[in-house]
């Protein structure tokens, strides 16, 4: 029976096992495949991944803090994983360990419309911010980055620009002033961890509860059990909203297809990820 897993540190909070096992059951293949959570410290990550194929694993998702390491450990990598410089999906096959990145595709799939030609504001310059900047920029959005620590935003801009030249991808990206005007953007993506620990987005981020525009698309990558304060305010202003669970589901569905070769039922994955 081929095994699948999510590797993280910590990983107990992950909704991926519930989501993927529900999809396997809905397709009637839960007797053939299984999906589990494995907590692994950074120092043990490489040895664990190398041992996985011998223990019956066909692939894995990789989450914080292992996404850079996952790419480094792989024998081959998809163009997207190389371009973003991180991997969230591993596939074990005859060619060894293959790394891919479905975070970018998951974000794009969750948007109500193509970001091409749109003015996009990405809040945050961590791993999720990097993937979002690349995903939107490579599809032709004009991307502005804001981060609490501006030097980190500069690093993302520098790395994206350098990779864009290396991979010959046209990307327009800049770092914005400390107080950007949110209504200037057609798309706002929060990739900071603000909200995860109950922080107020309107004190921590350059946003105001009444500062969203009608028709604007507002995405909050953070997900918790409670609905996001940020998305609640955006919806009240008439913006279209996308939550972190939808992005989790979309990236998970793309990973599922890479391992199993079949499209999973999105509704089943959504319900399981929401704990319904």
Catalytic residue list? 67
Task: Give bridge partners of residue 76 from the DSSP assignment.
Answer: 98
Task: Give bridge partners of residue 24 from the DSSP assignment.
Answer: none
The residue number with the shortest CB distance to ligand NAP is 126
Nearest-approach distance from CB 136 to ligand NAP, in angstroms: 15
Which of 80, 89, 101, 191 is the binder for ligand NAP (CB under 6 A)?
Answer: 191
Nearest-approach distance from CB 155 to ligand NAP, in angstroms: 9
Q: Counting contacts by CB under 6 A, is residue 172 touching ligand NAP?
A: no
CA angle 113, 117, 123 (to 5 degrees): 75
3-state secondary structure of 236: helix
**Dihedral of alpha carbons 51, 56, 61, 64, sign:** negative
3-state secondary structure of 34: strand
Closest listed residue to residue 36, CA positions, set 70, 1, 65: 1
Nearest-approach distance from CB 245 to ligand NAP, in angstroms: 7
Q: Which is nearer to ligand NAP, 36 or 199 (CB)?
A: 199
Residue pointed to by tokens 């620990």 = 197
Question: What is the footprint of ligand NAP within residues 241-270 (CB under 6 A)?
Answer: 244, 247-248, 251
How many positions of this chain bind ligand NAP (CB under 6 A)?
Answer: 26
Question: What is the footprint of ligand NAP within residues 135-154 (CB under 6 A)?
Answer: 147-149, 152
Q: Which is nearer to ligand NAP, 168 or 225 (CB)?
A: 225
Cβ atoms 33, 20 nearer than 8 A = no
Applying CB under 6 A, the residues found at the interface with ligand NAP are 64, 103, 124-129, 147-149, 152, 191-194, 196, 199, 204, 221-223, 244, 247-248, 251
């Amino acid at each position: 029976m081929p095994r699948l897993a999510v590797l993280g540190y910590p990983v107990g909070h992950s909704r991926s096992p519930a989501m993927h096992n529900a999809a396997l059951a809905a397709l009637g293949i839960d007797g053939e495949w299984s999906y589990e959570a494995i907590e692994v410290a950074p120092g043990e990550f490489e040895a664990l991944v190398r041992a996985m194929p011998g223990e019956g694993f066909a692939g894995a998702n990789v989450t914080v803090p292992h996404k850079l390491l996952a790419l480094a450990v792989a024998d081959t990598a998809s163009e997207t994983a190389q371009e973003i410089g991180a991997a969230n999906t591993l596939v074990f096959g005859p060619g060894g360990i293959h790394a891919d990145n479905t975070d970018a595709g998951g974000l794009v799939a969750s948007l109500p419309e193509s970001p091409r030609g749109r003015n996009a504001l990405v809040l945050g310059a961590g791993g999720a911010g990097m993937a979002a900047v690349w995903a939107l920029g490579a599809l032709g959005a004009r991307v502005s980055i804001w981060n609490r620590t501006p030097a980190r935003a500069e690093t993302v801009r520098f790395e994206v620009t350098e990779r864009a030249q290396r991979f010959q991808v046209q990307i327009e990206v800049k770092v914005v002033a400390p107080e950007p005007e949110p209504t200037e953007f057609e798309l706002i993506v929060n990739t900071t961890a603000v909200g995860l620990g109950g922080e107020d987005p309107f004190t921590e981020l350059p946003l105001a509860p009444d500062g969203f525009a009608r028709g604007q698309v507002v995405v909050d990558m953070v997900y918790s059990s409670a609905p996001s304060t940020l998305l609640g305010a955006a919806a009240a202003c008439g913006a279209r909203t996308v939550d972190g669970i939808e992005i989790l589901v979309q990236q998970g569905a793309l990973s599922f297809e890479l391992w199993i070769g079949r499209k999973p039922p999105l509704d089943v994955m959504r319900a399981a990820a929401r704990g319904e």
